[in-house]
């Protein structure tokens, strides 16, 4: 072996060593690429040769560092779970551009609604109203949600659309808009939840918020009805207040009437029995000296009475023995004082 081929063999050997090292490094790198982390809001599923490893909850890898064989043997797929997902249905809402939506402006109302662009729903009494809903849900079965549907959120939205349509078709316009807003919302939620369950989307409905308005074209007409309703309850409230006042006063008056009668009765009875008692006491005295008793009582009474009398006028008899003529001027304006003439 000459020096030249010796050097060539040497060079070949050393390059083989380099190739080997590179190969080993590549294999190591390939295996290392199988490491992946799962975030706190995520779960991961490993597909080996395209088939999910494990079933149900066991298939889900929790947060942390994991390893699987790299593609094409294994494939790891991450799914966001605990975040709440939102889906809105505008199938029953009039056409509105995103700018108008942000600014909160209503587009001008035409006289008709074009079914291609303007959404609305028909109520049970064949009225047209606008209604929209937002559904909030959580993914419960990520395998079903991700591997069962091309775009699961579209399926959720369709179910929500149907929920609105269905609920509206069973509710009267006034119930949807004013009388039974909560009931309507509940009906939408129930129908949507039921559909989602039947479709095995693997999710849990958290919340369903529904908003309904009358058509823009009829805003005033609806507002007038509301105004009339408010007016009506105001009238009724006033009438009820009046009713309370009147009946309360009447029952108070009635009570005092009865009370008065009762006290009158008690007084009458006690007066009479007191009189009867006194009569019993004086009867023996009267029987002994009727004339004297009479005289004594009369004088005594007159004496007592006369101290109370404000003005006492005494008429002396004229010389002829005839009573003098007396003229009285009665002031009619003071009705209380009584003028009385006592004749023996």
Do the beta carbons of residue 140 and residue 197 sit within 8 Å? Answer: no
Instruction: For residues 121 and 91, give the distance between their C-alpha atoms in angstroms, rounded to a whole number.
Output: 8
Binding to other proteins by residue 68, rule CB under 8 A?
Answer: no
Q: Pick out residues in 20-49 that bind other proteins (CB under 8 A).
A: 20, 23, 47, 49
Q: Which of the ranges 35-43, 60-68, 79-87, 212-220 carries the binding residues for other proteins, by CB under 8 A? A: 212-220
Q: DSSP of 38-92, one letter per residue?
A: E-TTEEEEEEETTEESS-GGGG-B-SEEEE-PPTTTEEEEEEE-SSPEEEEEEEE
Q: Judged by CB under 8 A, does residue 316 bind other proteins?
A: yes
Pairwise CA distance, residues 5 & 9, whole Å: 6
User: Which helix (H) or strand (E) covers residue 139, if one does?
Assistant: strand 128-139
Nearest approach, Cβ of residue 158 and other proteins (Å): 4
The window from 32-40, 80-88, 178-186, 304-312 that contacts other proteins (CB under 8 A) reads 304-312
Task: Select the residue interacting with other proteins from 51, 58, 288, 327 (CB under 8 A).
Answer: 51
Longest dimension (CA), the chain: 201
Q: Does 8 bind other proteins (CB under 8 A)?
A: no
Query: By CB under 8 A, is residue 286 in contact with other proteins?
Result: yes
Binding mask 129-158 toward other proteins (x if CB under 8 A, else -) reads ------------------xxxxx--xx--x
Confirm or reject binding of residue 304 to other proteins (CB under 8 A). yes
* Nearest residue to 139 (alpha-carbon basis) of 195, 189, 201, 192: 201
When asked if residue 79 is in the footprint of other proteins (CB under 8 A), the reply is no
Q: Which residue has the tokens 């004086």?
A: 282
Q: Are 145 and 83 in contact (CB under 8 A)?
A: no
Residues 168-207 that bind other proteins (CB under 8 A): 168-174, 191, 195, 198-199
**What is the DSSP code (8-state) at residue 189?**
H
Q: Residue 181 CB, nearest distance to other proteins (Å)?
A: 17
Number of Cβ atoms within 10 Å of the Cβ of 67: 14
Note whether 332 binds other proteins by CB under 8 A. no
Binding segment for other proteins among 16-24, 99-107, 132-140, 204-212 (CB under 8 A)?
16-24
Q: Which is nearer to other proteins, 38 or 129 (CB)?
A: 129
Which residues share a beta bridge with 133?
89, 210
Residue number with CB closer to other proteins (64 or 95): 95
Q: Which is nearer to other proteins, 128 or 209 (CB)?
A: 128
Give least dist CB 84 to other proteins, A.
21
Nearest to 201 by CA among 137, 135, 149: 149
What part of residues 216-275 is at the interface with other proteins (CB under 8 A)?
Answer: 217-218, 221-222, 224-225, 227-229, 231-236, 238-240, 242-243, 246-247, 249-251, 253-255, 257-258, 260-262, 264-266, 268-269, 271-273, 275
d(CA 78, CA 83): 13
According to DSSP, the residues that pair with 203 across neighbouring strands are: 139
Cross-strand pairs, 98: none
Count of residues interacting with other proteins (CB under 8 A): 135
Question: Exactly one of 1, 126, 182, 329 binds other proteins (CB under 8 A); which one?
Answer: 126
- Angle, alpha carbons 248-253-254 (nearest 5°): 100
* Beta pairing, strands 64-67 & 128-139: unpaired
Q: How far is the CB of 246 from other proteins (least distance, A)?
A: 4
- CB-CB contact of 76 with 39 (8 Å): no
Q: Which among 31-39, 118-126, 133-141, 177-185 is the span making contact with other proteins, rule CB under 8 A?
A: 118-126
Options 1, 40, 111, 329; binder of other proteins; rule CB under 8 A: 111
Output 189 or 191, the one with its CB closest to other proteins. Answer: 191
């Amino acid at each position: 072996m000459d020096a030249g081929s010796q050097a060539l063999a040497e060079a070949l050997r050393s390059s083989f060593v380099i190739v080997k090292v590179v190969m080993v490094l590549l294999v190591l790198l390939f295996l290392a690429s199988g490491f992946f982390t799962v975030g706190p809001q995520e779960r991961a599923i490993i597909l080996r040769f395209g088939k999910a490893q494990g079933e149900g909850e066991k298939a889900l890898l929790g947060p942390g560092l994991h390893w699987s064989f790299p593609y094409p043997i294994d494939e790891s797929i991450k799914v966001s779970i605990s975040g709440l997902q939102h889906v809105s249905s505008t199938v029953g809402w009039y056409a509105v551009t995103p700018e108008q939506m942000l600014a909160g402006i209503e587009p001008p109302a035409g006289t008709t609604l074009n079914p291609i662009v303007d959404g609305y729903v028909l109520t049970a009494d064949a009225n047209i109203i606008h209604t929209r809903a937002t559904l909030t849900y959580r993914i419960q079965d990520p395998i079903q949600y991700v591997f069962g549907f091309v775009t699961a959120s579209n399926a959720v939205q369709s179910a929500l659309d149907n929920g609105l349509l269905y609920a509206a078709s069973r509710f009267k316009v006034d119930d949807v808009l004013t009388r039974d807003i909560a009931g309507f919302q509940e009906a939408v939620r129930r129908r949507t939840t039921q559909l989602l369950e039947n479709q095995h989307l693997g999710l849990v409905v958290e919340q369903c918020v529904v908003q309904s308005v009358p058509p823009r074209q009829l805003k005033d007409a609806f507002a007038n009805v509301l105004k009339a309703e408010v007016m009506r309850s105001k009238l009724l409230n006033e009438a009820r207040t009046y009713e309370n006042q009147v009946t309360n006063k009447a029952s108070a008056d009635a009570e005092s009437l009865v009370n008065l009668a009762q006290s009158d009765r008690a007084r009458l009875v006690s007066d009479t029995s007191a009189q009867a008692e006194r009569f019993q006491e004086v009867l023996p005295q009267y029987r002994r000296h009727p004339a004297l008793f009479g005289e004594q009582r009369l004088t005594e009474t007159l004496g007592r009475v006369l101290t109370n009398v404000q003005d006492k006028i005494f008429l002396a008899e004229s010389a002829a023995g005839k009573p003098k003529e007396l003229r009285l001027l009665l002031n009619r304006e003071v009705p209380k004082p009584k003028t009385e003439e006592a004749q023996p």
